């Protein structure tokens, strides 16, 4: 093949494309083109997954008309076979026939799997290349991330315009392996690199700044063509992928689960509002060692730490603030220039301050539900302010342990119906979307002047609803959530947090989620 043509065409194609290619799927050719018309308003770089159609060839006349009408669109045609993760049921030769006709219909690029290129005769590939379209040679591993360099070397032999290596992340550290691969390979070819899966989201956002020529997105949420794929709107508006560069600082929320956390929405909005060159990612993992690899290798500039790591992370920190040390739980980490980690706790103030606005805490009788990281913050913070704190927890042993450490009391379940409190604080995950366990309190046991639920999603938890039914004033978890996030922003950036903007985006997102949930029933 003519490598001079390849370099000229790849330079030309690179000049035409952006950092995000939007994958278009449809149930019919008309549906496919209608979705392309919608996506075209935001981006001119589109991938047509014609393998999703029962008869891919039937889409080509409509595709030709669309591309003729929009000459500024750069189009990839993909007709991936079932054997390599697509939906096309034909042979590899039938696939190449479809792709040749897609080039004739105006597509500038076609995507062919490495396995297909290796199993057919070179003459068939030459015939495809002779059509004048650029070749994206792609490789997908739907199980793991391994031997990326070996795969890359096999692909180089075909001299494609673009090499696309897609693996599956089983850990956060797999993203590091992919990023390092991109850094090694980017000077040898035009490379696209992605980790699929929930834990590969980091690669989709940070890939382009590490050497991936572009990344893929779905046209809308619900139309993903690969596990873990994000919508174009999410990549552009939430993560500002087109603006990330080598100087962008990376932060994230670490824990399990964090997939539905609104921390990325809240803190990315704060970075955008204050023009801070930083991005904040969801870091889902169940292993602290996996998280620490990511912190060290990316490297991350800071972390929000959630369940189950608030206590476990302490032993990996160089130093913590006095309150983290005292309560034995940290929710905020800063990484210094020399790589050392420092811990802070913004949960404590976020529990105490909303209550201080409403009542005097000295001498107030407070019932705290739970004995985990959030409960520790509430118990120690309230004790420090002179409140009388009682703890109720499913595990009596854990309640007794926390009560002893904080010089608090253990609440007796049988006496709750007869007890009155100034404040009841829920510091368990009960009421959180997706959590099945039931409340520690029966409705008749909710006797307080104020009920404070630290769960923020949904806004109206069962406990909040039960309190309102009894005309008890409530504090929702949003107040705590935004307050602790605002303090984290200030610790990381040294700037005052745009708290009103943070509250606005969180409320907006929660209302959108509630509307979507109600609409889907």
Q: Is 262 annotated as a binding residue?
A: yes
Q: Is 263 annotated as a binding residue?
A: yes
Of the candidates 19, 35, 101, 310, the residue annotated as catalytic is: 310
Which phi-psi region, left, alpha or beta, contains residue 255 (left: φ > 0; alpha: ψ -120 to 50)? left
Tokens 């990344």 correspond to 215
Taking CA atoms, 338 is separated from 173, 294, 316, 406, 430, in Å, by 21, 16, 15, 35, 40
Q: Is 80 annotated as a binding residue?
A: yes
61 burial level (CB within 10 Å; 0-12, 13-18, 19+): exposed
Q: Is 477 annotated as a binding residue?
A: yes
Q: Is 331 annotated as a binding residue?
A: yes
Q: Is 306 annotated as a binding residue?
A: yes
The gap from C-alpha 119 to its chain's centroid, in whole angstroms, comes to 37
Q: Are 483 and 353 in contact (CB under 8 A)?
A: yes
Q: Is 87 annotated as a binding residue?
A: no
Q: Is 372 annotated as a binding residue?
A: yes
Joined together, the tokens standing for residue 501 give 């903007």
Q: How far apart are CA 376 and CA 394, in angstroms?
A: 15
Q: Is 211 annotated as a binding residue?
A: no
Of the candidates 101, 164, 326, 385, the residue annotated as catalytic is: 164
Nearest to 350 by CA among 382, 311, 328: 382
Tokens 């476990």 correspond to 312
Q: Is 117 annotated as a binding residue?
A: no
Q: Is 347 annotated as a binding residue?
A: yes
Q: Is 277 annotated as a binding residue?
A: no
- What is the layout of strands, in order, in the sheet containing 319-320? 278-284, 249-255, 302-305, 332-335, 341-344, 319-320
Q: Is 340 an active-site residue?
A: no
Of the candidates 19, 101, 140, 383, the residue annotated as catalytic is: 140
Kind and range of the H or E run holding 333: strand 332-335
Q: Is 249 an active-site residue?
A: no
Q: How far apart are CA 303 and CA 364, in angstroms?
A: 33
Q: Is 168 annotated as a binding residue?
A: no
Q: Is 101 an active-site residue?
A: no
Nearest to 90 by CA among 124, 128, 56: 56
Q: Are 210 and 182 in contact (CB under 8 A)?
A: yes
Q: How far apart are CA 112 and CA 89, in angstroms?
A: 15
Joined together, the tokens standing for residue 498 give 């745009």
Q: Is 217 annotated as a binding residue?
A: no
Q: Is 484 annotated as a binding residue?
A: yes
Number of H helices, E strands in the chain: 19, 20
414 burial level (CB within 10 Å; 0-12, 13-18, 19+): exposed
User: Would you call 367 helix, strand, or coil by DSSP?
Assistant: strand
Q: Is 356 annotated as a binding residue?
A: no
E strands, 156-248, in order: 162-168, 191-196, 215-218
Q: Is 392 annotated as a binding residue?
A: no
Q: Is 172 annotated as a binding residue?
A: no
- Known binding-site positions for shikimate: 261-263, 306, 331, 347, 456, 484
Catalytic site positions: 140, 164, 310
- Known binding-site positions: 47-49, 80, 204, 225, 229, 261-263, 306, 331, 347, 370-374, 454, 456, 477, 484
- Known binding-site positions for 3-dehydroquinate: 47-49, 80, 204, 225, 229
- Known binding-site positions for NADP(+): 370-374, 454, 477
């Amino acid at each position: 093949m003519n490598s001079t043509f390849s370099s000229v065409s790849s330079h030309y194609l690179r000049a035409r494309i952006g950092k995000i290619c939007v994958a278009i799927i449809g149930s019919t050719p008309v549906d496919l083109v209608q979705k392309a018309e919608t996506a075209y308003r935001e981006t001119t770089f589109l991938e047509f997954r014609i393998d999703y159609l029962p008869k891919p060839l039937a889409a080509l006349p409509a595709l030709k008309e669309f591309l003729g009408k929009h000459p500024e669109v750069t189009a990839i045609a993909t007709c991936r076979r079932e054997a390599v993760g697509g939906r096309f049921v034909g042979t590899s030769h039938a696939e190449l026939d479809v792709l040749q006709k897609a080039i004739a219909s105006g597509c500038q690029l076609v995507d062919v799997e490495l396995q297909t290129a290796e199993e057919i005769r070179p003459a068939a590939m030459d015939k495809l290349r002779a059509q004048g379209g650029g070749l994206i040679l792609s490789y997908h591993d739907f199980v793991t991330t391994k031997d990326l360099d070996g795969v890359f070397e096999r692909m180089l032999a075909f001299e494609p315009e673009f090499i696309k290596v897609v693996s599956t992340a089983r850990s956060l550290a797999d993203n590091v392996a992919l990023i390092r691969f991109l850094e090694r390979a980017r000077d040898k070819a035009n490379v696209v690199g992605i980790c699929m899966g929930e834990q590969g989201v980091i690669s989709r956002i940070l890939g382009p700044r590490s050497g991936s020529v572009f990344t893929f997105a779905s046209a809308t949420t619900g139309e993903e063509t690969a596990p873990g794929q994000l919508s174009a709107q999410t990549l552009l508006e939430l993560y500002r992928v087109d603006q990330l560069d080598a100087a962008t600082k990376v932060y994230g929320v670490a824990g399990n689960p964090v997939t539905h956390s609104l921390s990325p929405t809240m803190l990315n909005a704060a970075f955008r509002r204050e023009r801070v060159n930083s991005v904040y990612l969801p870091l889902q993992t169940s292993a602290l060692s996996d998280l620490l690899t990511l912190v060290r290798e990316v490297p991350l500039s800071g972390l929000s730490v959630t369940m189950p790591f608030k206590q476990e992370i302490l032993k990996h920190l160089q130093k913590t603030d006095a309150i983290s040390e005292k309560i034995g739980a940290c929710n905020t980490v800063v990484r210094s220039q020399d790589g050392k980690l420092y811990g802070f706790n913004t949960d404590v103030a976020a529990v105490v301050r909303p209550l201080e606005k409403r009542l005097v805490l000295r001498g107030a009788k407070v019932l705290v539900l739970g004995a985990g990281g959030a409960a520790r913050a509430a118990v120690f913070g309230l004790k420090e302010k002179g409140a009388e704190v009682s703890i109720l927890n499913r595990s009596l042993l854990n309640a007794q342990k926390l009560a002893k450490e904080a010089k608090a009391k253990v609440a007796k379940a049988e006496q709750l119906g007869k007890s009155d409190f100034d404040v009841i604080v829920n510091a368990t995950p009960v009421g959180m979307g997706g959590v099945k366990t039931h409340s520690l309190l029966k409705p008749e046991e909710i006797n307080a002047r104020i009920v404070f639920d630290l769960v923020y999603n949904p806004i109206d938890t069962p406990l909040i609803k039960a309190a309102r039914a009894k005309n008890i004033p409530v504090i929702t978890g949003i107040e705590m959530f935004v307050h602790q996030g605002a303090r984290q922003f200030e610790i990381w950036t040294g700037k005052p947090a745009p708290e009103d903007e943070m509250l606005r985006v969180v409320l907006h997102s929660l209302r959108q989620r509630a509307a979507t949930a109600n609409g889907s029933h």
